[in-house]
């Protein structure tokens, strides 16, 4: 089975003809629409996004990976093309999530108070990254205070406690574990559950208000028809 090259520097229509000339390979059969959609996503990653206007194309998003244009891509079948695009999409999503986590960790302030334990730079980053997950659930979180205590008691467990500042009632939790990372993971899991419960509670009054707003109108209409 020969390879067919797809040059992302060429016009889209030319690359589309090359992609559609690929034979089906593997167990799954790829239709024309699926192949064209995959190729369009490749062009978006390589060239960015643009809108066509009377003045010509206007860029609205920069390219994510312009290196895809450096050399033609070679595929033996449509399945190879779809698998390549799927891998590219996963890597792009993973990269964007890492960037988002870094930005969120930088924007979400975390104050750490250690007792009988040393908190290095790597552990501080780990704590900030973990607590930023709570801020993703509680989008209005203002910051967090974390107290870390070294091994103590007969079981020699690490102890961590935290308070996440929110408008209204704060979230609080604590955890103990033989491993400091394990204690932090347990603490973050508890705080995330509390944040989800809070999110659910905040949504309920809105539904109730909408129901109460309708009821007086229904009651008035019923009395009117009764007359």
pLDDT tens digits, one per residue of 17-46:
999 999 887 656 778 899 999 999 899 888
pLDDT at residue number 227? 39
The CATH number given to whatever domain includes residue 193 is: 3.30.160.100
Classify strands 143-152 and 110-115 as parallel, antiparallel or unpaired. parallel
Instruction: Answer yes or no: do 90 and 70 share one domain.
Output: yes
- Does 219 have pLDDT greater than 50? no
Say if residue 112 is in the same domain as residue 205.
yes
pLDDT in tens, 53-81: 777 777 777 888 888 899 999 999 888 89
DSSP 105-150: HHHS-EEEEEESS---HHHHHHHHHHHHHHHHHSTT--EEEEEEEE
60, 88: one domain? yes
**Structural domain containing residue 9:** 4-100
d(CA 129, CA 131): 6
114 and 76 in a common domain: no
| Torsion 179-185-190-191 (CA) sign | positive
What is the reported pLDDT for 56? 74
Render pLDDT for 117-132 as a digit per residue (tens, 0 to 9). Answer: 999 988 988 998 888 8
The percentage of residues in the chain with a pLDDT greater than 70, rounded to a whole number, is 82
Domain contains 217: no
Number of structural domains found in the chain: 2
Categorize the per-residue pLDDT at 180 as very low, low, confident or very high, splitting at 50, 70 and 90.
Answer: very high
Radius of gyration of the chain (CA): 27
């Amino acid at each position: 089975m020969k390879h067919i090259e797809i040059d992302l520097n060429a016009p889209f229509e030319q690359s589309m003809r090359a992609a559609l000339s690929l034979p089906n390979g593997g167990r799954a059969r790829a239709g024309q629409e699926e192949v064209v959609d995959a190729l369009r996503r490749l062009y978006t990653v390589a060239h960015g996004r643009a809108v066509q206007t009377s003045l010509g194309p206007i860029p609205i998003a920069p390219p994510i990976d312009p290196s895809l244009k450096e050399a033609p891509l070679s595929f033996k079948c449509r399945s190879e093309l779809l698998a390549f695009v799927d891998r590219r999409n996963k890597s792009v999503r993973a990269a964007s999530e890492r960037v988002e986590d870094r930005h969120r960790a930088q924007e979400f302030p975390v104050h750490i108070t250690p007792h009988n334990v040393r908190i290095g730079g790597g552990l501080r980053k780990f704590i900030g990254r973990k607590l930023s997950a709570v801020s993703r659930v509680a989008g209005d979180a203002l910051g967090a205070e974390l107290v870390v205590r070294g091994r103590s008691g007969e079981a020699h467990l690490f102890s961590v406690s935290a308070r996440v500042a929110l408008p209204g009632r704060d979230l609080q939790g604590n955890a103990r574990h033989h491993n400091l990372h394990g204690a932090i993971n347990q603490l973050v899991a508890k705080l995330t559950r509390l944040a989800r419960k809070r999110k659910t509670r905040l949504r309920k009054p809105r539904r109730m208000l909408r129901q109460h707003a309708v009821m007086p109108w229904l009651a008035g209409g019923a009395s009117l028809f009764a007359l």
